[in-house]
Amino acid sequence: MTTSAPGEPSSPDGISRRAALGILGAGTAGAGFAAGAATTASLAQSASTDGDPRDAYPFYGEHQAGITTPVQDRLHFAAFDLTSTADRDGLIQLLKDWTDAAAAMTQGRDVGRGAVDGNPLLPPDDTGEAVGLPPSGLTITIGFGPSLFDDRFGLADRKPADLEPLPLFAFDLLQEPISGGDLCVQACAHDPQVAVHAIRNLTRIAFGTARIRWSQLGFGRTSSTSTGQATARNLFGFKDGTANLKSEEPAAVDEFVWVGDADQEWMTGGTYLVTRKIVMTIENWDRVQLAEQEDIVGRSKGEGAPLTGSAEFDEPDFDLGTTDGTKVIPVDAHVRLAHPTTTGTRILRRGYNFVDGSNELGQLAAGLFFISMQRSPEQFSAVQRSLATDALNEYIRHVSSAVFAVPPGASDGSYVGAPLFD
């Protein structure tokens, strides 16, 4: 057992990172002060990007981890389709097997009998590339796509009314092979090798039942979900997600993230996960003058302050006008159109930068793999409709779209999604 507060990571020795820092502060009085202070700063700096390798988040709980968990810096996301031979029992077994494997890997343990401890005349249960690596803050979040609720698995009458493919939005250029999916797994960790190991082993477990439809790696979280995290920058070079929902706002999280009085009881305590792969034409962006970049975003590039303020967290004044009769924050500025006062709603963003190498023009194939969590996909849709006139649209292309129902967390001994099959 650990002494961590809920939602706080524990380390294998039972001392949470926050507690360790507290102890360090107490222990550095006197002669050790200078060294202690330097070390505290180093840890804090490290935590702002990579986190502590010893972080281990519980897999079992009321909600799945990887939603309000402070955003880890690396992502491997995979969407799966069930195979043509899979049936309801196979789906249930897959979810049980995934639950067991996820519960092990998130605590820094190998899958099953491990990579080296089994029968040498059998293939190992675990693929082995994470042997010796710490838990690294790994979370594994499992979701169900709309297509899972067709007539294949007897789930048609359990489909939530909210779980429909997203509508087509302005400027959408979606590619079907990298959109949608029956199931999804989001693996986030401080170390990409740990995230990749998780997706690889869950994919291996699914062999014969489900296979990857598409997948995406990401880095450099572009949102914070905790006030303890500095705001990160997207590949336009701007701070992103300043006004994001934070886990320290429990009332707002309850209002905007967790499903409450659902039409489908099995979704109570769950959420809806939206992914959008957004290609950025960064070569074009990089030729835009600084002042215009700031007008398009509506914030300063350095501090990230709204153009009507001087500090990042200053509230934007959307009414403030200039002497020539326009608004200081232009009417088509991203910050205006994405702001809760415009959209009327809030979402929990959890996206990542991506670079998929380069394209045939020698340009970086780069952008934002947008992820948001909300109690209804309609919240995302309201934001996306508002962005139809966003000046940023000239520099981005939405090329994939998916939505998944993320069921509540499982209790130890059960499995993720069990109430769906009751």
- By CB under 8 A, what part of segment 186-205 binds a copy of itself? 190-193, 196, 199-200, 203-204
Tokens 């990887």, located at residue: 66
* SS3 (DSSP) at 203: helix
> Distance between CA atoms of 49 and 43, rounded to whole angstroms?
10
| Binding-site member from 141, 308, 353, 374 for a copy of itself (CB under 8 A) | 353
Identify which of residues 162 and 182 has a Cβ nearer to a copy of itself in the complex.
182
Identify which of residues 5 and 38 has a Cβ nearer to a copy of itself in the complex.
38
- Residues 131-150 within binding reach of a copy of itself (CB under 8 A): 131-134
CA distances (Å), origin 189, targets 108, 137, 164, 338, 405: 11, 5, 29, 28, 22
Quickly list H helices, 260-362. 282-285, 290-297, 334-338, 340-343
Q: Which two tokens stand for residue 415?
A: 């499995």
For the chain, report the end-to-end CA distance as a whole number of angstroms.
31
> Distance between CA atoms of 108 and 113, rounded to whole angstroms?
14
- Residues 282-341 within binding reach of a copy of itself (CB under 8 A): 282-283, 286-291, 293-294, 300-302
Distance in Å, CB of 157 to a copy of itself, minimum: 29
Taking CB under 8 A as the rule, which mask of x and - marks residues 77-116 in contact with a copy of itself?
-x-x----------------------------------xx
- Residues 163-182 within binding reach of a copy of itself (CB under 8 A): 177
Tokens 């043509």, located at residue: 84
Binding segment toward a copy of itself, per CB under 8 A, in 100-108, 363-371, 375-383, 410-418: 363-371
Distance in Å, CB of 279 to a copy of itself, minimum: 14
Identify which of residues 251 and 287 has a Cβ nearer to a copy of itself in the complex.
287
- Residues 16-35 within binding reach of a copy of itself (CB under 8 A): 20, 23-24, 26-29, 31-35
> Distance between CA atoms of 274 and 297, rounded to whole angstroms?
22
| Binding-site member from 175, 363, 389, 414 for a copy of itself (CB under 8 A) | 363
Binding segment toward a copy of itself, per CB under 8 A, in 43-51, 86-94, 166-174, 256-264: 43-51
The answer to whether the CB of 118 falls within 8 A of the CB of 392 is no
The answer to whether the CB of 176 falls within 8 A of the CB of 401 is no
Binding segment toward a copy of itself, per CB under 8 A, in 51-59, 95-103, 146-154, 384-392: 51-59
Identify which of residues 194 and 410 has a Cβ nearer to a copy of itself in the complex.
194
Q: Binding residues for a copy of itself, how many (CB under 8 A)?
A: 99
Please list, in sequence order, all residues whose beta carbon lies within 8 angstroms of the beta carbon of residue 196, skipping any fewer than 6 positions away.
76, 129, 187, 217
Candidates 222, 363, 359; CA nearest to 284 is: 363
Residue 194 parent element (H or E): helix 192-205
- Residues 211-230 within binding reach of a copy of itself (CB under 8 A): 211-217, 219-220, 230
Candidates 352, 50, 351; CA nearest to 220 is: 352
Distance in Å, CB of 324 to a copy of itself, minimum: 17
Identify which of residues 213 and 336 has a Cβ nearer to a copy of itself in the complex.
213
Q: What is the dihedral of CA 293, 240, 373, 16, to 10 degrees?
A: 170
> Distance between CA atoms of 162 and 248, rounded to whole angstroms?
27
Distance in Å, CB of 297 to a copy of itself, minimum: 11
Identify which of residues 36 and 165 has a Cβ nearer to a copy of itself in the complex.
36
> Distance between CA atoms of 194 and 74, rounded to whole angstroms?
9
- Residues 386-415 within binding reach of a copy of itself (CB under 8 A): none
Distance in Å, CB of 311 to a copy of itself, minimum: 15
Identify which of residues 68 and 222 has a Cβ nearer to a copy of itself in the complex.
222
